[in-house]
Amino acid sequence: MAVQKTYSMIKPDGVRNGHVGAIIDRFERAGLKIERMEMGMVTNAQAEANYAEHKGKPFYAGLISYITSGPVVKMVISGEGAVAKVRSLMGATNPADATPGTIRGDFGLVMDENVIHGSDSPESAEREIGIFFD
């Protein structure tokens, strides 16, 4: 497997509930490197660009409102197979289905506030890094 870069974001509920350090520790213990990290707010333009594929779906407006509701931690993460490794560490999208020991399994409460986002492919990672980092 090749060294990849991926994008991950600790969402407002993860920041609000004090899980930032534990999540970063999991990435580092898994052999991943945090290349760039920034805490800040997601703008409406960034949110709309990131979630463009969901535009028109019933949950879209709530998703945009939620992701812009509080500070997030945006990260560029690299390592062997980083995209798949981050996705595995995150767990299932719905925390109710996430295995204990995964980020969402341990810290997620509900589908609408599921603690973390991670790119689903190298192509998505490249696009998302461009949205959130110059």
Residue ranges of the domains in the chain? 3-132
Cα distances (angstroms) measured from residue 45 to each of 77, 83, 87, 98: 23, 24, 25, 30
Catalytic residue among 98, 108, 117, 119: 117
Classify 128 as helix, strand or coil.
helix
Q: What is the helix, strand, coil percentage profile of the chain, to 5?
A: 45, 25, 30
Structure tokens at 91: 């767990």
Spatial distance between the Cα atoms of 7 and 105, rounded to a whole number of angstroms? 20
**117 is a catalytic site residue:** yes
**What is the architecture of the domain spanning 3-132?**
2-Layer Sandwich (3.30)
What is the predicted pLDDT for the residue at 112? 86
pLDDT at 1 over 80: no
What is the predicted pLDDT for the residue at 134? 78
